Amino acid sequence: MPVLGGLELIERLRRTNPDLRIIIVSGYSEFEYAKRAIELGVDEYILKPIDVAAFQETLRRVRIRLEASAGSIDAEFGLDRIGSREEDLANAVGLYIKENYRQPYSLERLAAAFGCKAAYLLRLYRRIKGCTPTQDLIRLRIEKAKRLLVGHPRMEIKQVAAAAGYEDALYFSRLFKKETGKNPSAFRDSMSRP
């Protein structure tokens, strides 16, 4: 930046807006620079060249932090209620599942993304949402697959499976039949009939 360095800009911004979320994208990999950025409270520090997938994951993490911090504002003004943070966490997990439904899934990985233990996340999610995160993910993936089967009649079943987040087309077909009562081909055929 020609007039003002990045760290100087962050220092000035922190004076007027201490809660601002900041991501640094830099080609500067010196330890002292990164250390100073951490001292200034930046959320993330990304080196160039940027990996798009990693950058998207960084944005998701910052978004989750923003949503989680919204609860602290409610508490500051006395608007919080018992269980609201748990509801916020369950809602954030649900949003994360919707945004990442095509990614490989495990409950442990999901819990780690939210900084908690898998057993705790499972109990909390079930209590608030009435189902497990895995059940929500399956339901979401099957709904996506239904839309693909109907909307793209020439698409192969293995392509539909992959687009819905399943690497194994046979497993996908068994799960689809369990959830809908029909295998994917039969479902597609039943939807194409007048």
Residue 10: what pLDDT? Answer: 82
Q: Give per-residue pLDDT as tens, 57-77.
A: 888 877 777 766 655 544 554
13/7 Cα distance (integer angstroms) = 10
Going from N- to C-terminal start, the domains of the chain cover: 135-192
Tokens 């200034």 belong to 40
Contact 100, 92 (CB under 8 A): no
Q: Give per-residue pLDDT as tens, 90-142.
A: 999 999 999 999 998 999 999 888 888 989 999 999 999 999 999 999 999 99
pTM, entire model: 0.56
140/84 Cα distance (integer angstroms) = 25
Query: Following DSSP, what letter does each residue of 49-81 receive, concatenated?
Result: SPPHHHHHHHHHHHHHHHHHHHHHHHHHTT---
Which residues 6+ apart lie within 8 Å of 185 measured at CB?
157
Residue 18 has pLDDT above 80, yes or no: no
Residue 71: what pLDDT? Answer: 54
Query: Following DSSP, what letter does each residue of 117-130 receive, concatenated?
Result: -HHHHHHHHHHHHS
List beta partners, residue 161: none
- The CATH fold assigned to 135-192 is Arc Repressor Mutant, subunit A (1.10.10)
